[in-house]
Amino acid sequence: MTMHRWWRGAVIYQIYPRSFMDTDGNGVGDLPGIVDKLDYIASLGVDAIWISPFFKSPMADFGYDIADYRDVDPLFGTLDDFDRLLAKAHALGIKVMIDQVLSHCSEEHAWFKESRESRDNPKADWYVWADAKSDGSPPNNWMSLFGGVAWRWEPRRGQYYLHNFLSSQPDLNFHSPQVRAATLDNVKFWLDKGVDGLRLDAINFCFHDLQLRDNPAKPEDKRVGRGFSPDNPYAFQYHFHNNTQPENLAFLEELRELMDRYPGTTTLGEISSEDSLATMAEYVNDRRLHMGYSFELLTNDFTAAYIRGTVRDLESKMVDGWPCWAISNHDVARAVTRWGGCEADMAFASQLVALVCSLRGSVCLYQGEELGLGEADVPYAALQDPYGKTFWPNFKGRDGCRTPMPWDSTAQAGFSTGKPWLPIDDAHRVKAVAVQEPDPASTLNRTRHFLRWRKQWPALQFGDIELLYTAEPVLAFTRSIQAQRLLVVFNLGADPVQWNLPAGVTAQPVEGHGLLSGQVQEGVLHLPGRAVFYASIG
C-alpha cells in the first residue's frame, strides 16, 4: 500500500444528492445539480466525491432501497446525466465514488418480486426466507435497526423474510453463489462506466447465521450505539448472528479481485458491528477492502480521552489496513451541533475540519461541513425520515442533517425554484456559500485554505501517528514520514490552556494553515480556545 495510490490520505466530499442542488424545480436535488456545482467542489481542494444513492428506488429509505442497481431514478436524472457528471469531474481532477447497497434492496426489485412468488422459482433462495415457529411467530428474535422485529410475513410463500432495516428492504441471501455473482456483475456495470471507487453501505450485513440462532440479550448499561433512540429494541441485543459473519471475508476477497481488474479504483466500507474497530481491522487489508470507516467518531463524546482512545484502539488492531475518518454524514447529527452545541462558532467548525483531516487515514467531509453548518431544526410536521417518525420525540431521526445545501440567503437558499423536500433552517441561510465567499476568514475559505496547505505536508497525508498523553481538553499527537515530523495539538475547549511540551522536544511552529494557532514560550505551549497548533519537531 504505497503513497501514490490516490485514495491514501484523500479528502472525499460526500454528496447527498436529494439535498445538494435542484435544477428542475421539484424540490429535490439531482445529478445535473451536482454537475453545475462541480466547479465549487473543485475549489474546495478535495480529491474525490462520494455520491449517496441515485439509483431507481421507491424512496422508502431515500435511495438506500434500490429497485434497479443499473439505472438512475428519474427523480435524479438519467444515465446520460451521470456520464456527464463523471466526465466533468474527471476533467476537473476529481475522482468519483458511488454508494453501493449490496446487503439488501427494495421490495420493488424484480429479483424480490420473483423470489416471493413461490418456494421453487429460479430466485427462490435469493433472499433470506424462513418458516414460522409452530405458533406462527418469527423464526428467531432478531430485531430491525429501524425498530421492531426483523422478519416480515409473506403470504405468497407462507414464510417470513429477513429485513435488517425497513420491512420494505429485504435482505439478500449471500450464501447463494448466484446472488454473489449477480451482485458483482452489478458492481462491474459501474466500474465499466469509469467510476473510481465504491462506498459500500452496511457491508458487514451481507451474510446471516445459517442456523438462525437467537441473538443474546444485552445488559441495560451496554445499550448504546450510533443513532439509537433510548427505546429502540435493536439496542437490547448483541448482534452476533444477523451480521458480521465469517463467510463475508471470502466475499470481500471476491470483490477485491474484481476491483483489482480496474487499476486505480478503491473501496470504502461502512462497518457497524459489536466491535467495529476489530471488524475494520479484519476487513481492511491488501486482500479485502482498501479503506473502512465506522461510527466511533460519530458519537456524542468529544473528549480528548475518547478520541485518543478510539484512534489508539484502531491503530493497535489495524496493522495492515488504511482507515477513513468521518465526524458527520447523512445518518447522524452534524458534528458542529453534536459536539459544540447550538452556540458553536466558526473557529470551532474550522477546528473540526482540521481535526479529522489530521488523523492518520483518509477523510470523508459531508456537504456543508465546509460551511460550518449545524444540525437543522425540522418540526415533526415536516419530517420525512421513517426512522424519526417511529421514534419521535426521543430520537428525531436523520432529517436534521439532510436539509438542503444553502447556496445563498434567499427563501429557497438557491437550492431550488420549488418547495424544498425538507425545510431550510434560517441558521443555514446566514452561513450560505454566497454569504461566506467574500469573507477571507469565513469557515468556507478557511477550509479551502487549510486543505490546500495540508497537501504540502506528506506527514499529514500518509504518515504514521503517535498519540501523546494529555490532560483535558488537549489532544496531541505526532505525524511522521521519513525525515518529516509534525507535532499536532488541539485545544478542544473554549478557554485558553497551557501545555508543557514533552521533554527534549524543540518545536518550530508551522504557519500557513490559516487557523487559530498558539505560541511556544520557554517550553510551554499557550493555546487560545479552539486553537490548532502544528510544529515541525526534530
Integer Cα distance of 335 and 265 in angstroms: 29
Residue the block writes with cell 479551502: 448
| The three cell numbers locating residue 29 | 436535488
Domain ranges of the chain: 11-105+177-454, 463-537
Integer Cα distance of 325 and 338 in angstroms: 16
Structure confidence at residue 3 (pLDDT): 45
| The three cell numbers locating residue 268 | 470504502
Integer Cα distance of 383 and 392 in angstroms: 10
Could you tell me how far CA 267 lies from the centroid of its own chain?
13
Angle between helices 177-193 and 79-91 (to 10 degrees): 60
439 given a catalytic annotation:
no
The DSSP code for 530 is T
Structure confidence at residue 513 (pLDDT): 95
Dihedral (Cα; 93, 97, 98, 100), 10-degree rounding: 160
The values of phi and psi at residue 167, to 5°, are: -65, -20
Using only C-alpha atoms, what is the Rg of the chain?
23
CATH fold for the domain made of 11-105+177-454? TIM Barrel (3.20.20)
Is the N-terminal amide bond of 393 cis, ω within 30° of 0? yes
Question: pLDDT tens digits, residue range 151-192?
Answer: 999 999 999 999 999 999 999 999 999 999 999 999 999 999
User: Do the domains spanning 11-105+177-454 and 463-537 agree at the CATH topology level?
Assistant: no
Structure confidence at residue 75 (pLDDT): 98
CATH code for the part of the protein at 463-537: 2.60.40.1180
Q: Which of 81, 171, 270, 399 is catalytic?
A: 270
Task: Outline where DSSP puts E strands in 243-399.
Answer: 266-270, 291-293, 322-325, 362-366
CB under 8 Å to 35, separation ≥6 — which residues? 81, 84, 85, 88
Listing DSSP states for 392-441 in one string gives: TTT---SGGGTSPP--SSSTTTTT-SS--SSPPPHHHHTT-HHHHTT-TT
Question: pLDDT tens digits, residue range 462-517?
Answer: 999 999 999 999 999 999 999 999 999 999 999 999 999 988 888 899 999 999 99
Could you tell me how far CA 235 lies from the centroid of its own chain?
21
Structure confidence at residue 43 (pLDDT): 98
**Of 50, 135, 113, 59, whose CA–CA distance to 326 is shortest?**
50
Structure confidence at residue 204 (pLDDT): 98
CB under 8 Å to 7, separation ≥6 — which residues? 47, 48, 95, 197, 266, 268, 290, 291, 322, 362
Structure confidence at residue 345 (pLDDT): 87
Integer Cα distance of 246 and 249 in angstroms: 6
Q: Which of 73, 81, 201, 296 is catalytic?
A: 201
Q: Could you say which residues of the chain have pLDDT below 70?
A: 1-4, 225-230
Structure confidence at residue 147 (pLDDT): 87
Return the H-helix or E-strand segment holding 317.
helix 304-317
Structure confidence at residue 1 (pLDDT): 39
201 given a catalytic annotation:
yes
